[in-house]
Amino acid sequence: MKKEKAEVRPQRSYKDTVFRMLFREKENLLSLYNAVNKTAYTDINGLEIATLENAVYMNYKNDISFVMNFELMLYEHQSTVNPNMPLRHLIYVTKVLQGIIRNEDLYGSALVKIPTPKFVIFYNGMEEQPEQKTLKLSDAFEKKLETLELELVVTMYNINYGQNPELLNACQTLKEYAQYVSKVRENAEKMPFAEAVEAAVDECIRNGILADFLLKNRAEAIEMSIFEYDEEKHLRNEREYAYKKGRKEGKVEGIRIVAFILKCSGQGDSREEILQKLRESYSLSKEEAETYYFETENSMAQNP
C-alpha cells in the first residue's frame, strides 16, 4: 500500500518575509511611517524598534513594532484577509507593553505613561479589497453594548500596485515592493511559480526595482517569496474547504429544521408553538426561527 505523504503546514513563525526584511532597516521603516502618517521625520535615531523577535503568539510573529513620536506602531503585512487581526493585535500589544513598562511601578501613586498604540495592516493579497478598510475588535463581541469599555481599531491599506498611489509614492521602498510582487504574479500566469520568482528578481534588478536588496539577498528573497506563495495558497485552500464544509453542514441542518416544522405542523402545533420549539431545539434567534418557518410555509403553499 502506498503511504500518503503527510501535508506540510506552513509555519510562518519560523520564516521571515521579504516585507519584513525590507522594513527591518530603519531608513525604510521611517519612510513607511512618514508615508502612513504624512509626516517628514528624518532622524532615524528617534525610532526605537519594539518587535519581540523571539515571541510567537497565536501561531504568528508580529512583523514590525516600533516607537516613534510617542506612538507605538504595530505594523503587519498580510496576503490574506483576516478579520481576527484586531484580536491578534490586542494579544500582541499587551506583550509589547509589558516589555516597555517592565521597570515601572504599576502599584504606585504616579500614573505610568505609555506610547499611544496605532495598528496598521499592509495588505497585498489577490482577493479584491478597498484601498483602505477599518477593522474593529468590537465586531467580534458576541453581545453588543451601547457603551464600549474596550475597543481596538486596525487600519488596513491595500498596497497592491495600482492601489493607494499616494501612499506608495510617499514611500519608494513600499512602491518597489508592490512592483516586485506584481511582477511575480504576472510571471506566474505563464510559468511555474519558482521560475516566475527568479525571472521577477532578474527583471527587477535590471530595472532598478529593489535592486540593491535583491542583489544582496537574491537567494533568500526567492526562497521567502516561494514560501509566502505556498502559505497563501494553503490558507486559501483551507478557507475554501471550510466554506464548502459549512455550506454542506448548513444545508443538512436546514433540511432537518424543515422536517421538524412539518412534523410540528402535522401534530397541530400553532405557529407560536412551532417558533418556540425551533428556538429551543436548534438554538435559533427569533428572526432565524421566523425565517425558517415562513420559508417552509411559502414553499408548501407553492407546492401543495
pTM, two decimals, is 0.72
Cβ distance 119 to 153 under 8 Å? yes
Higher pLDDT, 270 or 304: 270
Residue 15 has pLDDT above 70, yes or no: no
Tell me what pLDDT residue 291 has: 85
Mean pLDDT, residues 296-301: 75
Tell me the pLDDT tens digit for each residue of 211-262.
Answer: 999 999 999 999 999 888 766 654 555 555 455 554 555 666 777 888 888 8
Helix (H/G/I), strand (E/B), else coil: 168? helix
Residues 6+ apart with CB under 8 A from 163: 131
Whole-number mean pLDDT of the chain? 85
Report the C-alpha gap between 58 and 74 in whole angstroms.
Answer: 16
Domain residue ranges of the chain, discontinuous segments joined by +: 11-166, 246-302
- The DSSP line for 107-163 is TSSSPPP-PEEEEEEEE--SS---SEEEEEGGGG-SS--SS-S---EEEEEE-STTS
Closest alpha carbon to 18 in 188, 245, 179, 190:
179
Closest alpha carbon to 71 in 118, 26, 137, 38:
118
- For residue 106 the three cell numbers come to 504599576
Tell me what pLDDT residue 238 has: 53
Report the C-alpha gap between 119 and 191 in whole angstroms.
Answer: 37
Tell me the pLDDT tens digit for each residue of 106-143.
Answer: 999 999 999 999 999 999 998 899 999 999 999 999 88
Strand 132-136 relative to strand 116-123, pairing: unpaired
Strands laid side by side in the 71-78 sheet:
48-49, 64-68, 71-78, 116-123, 153-158, 132-136
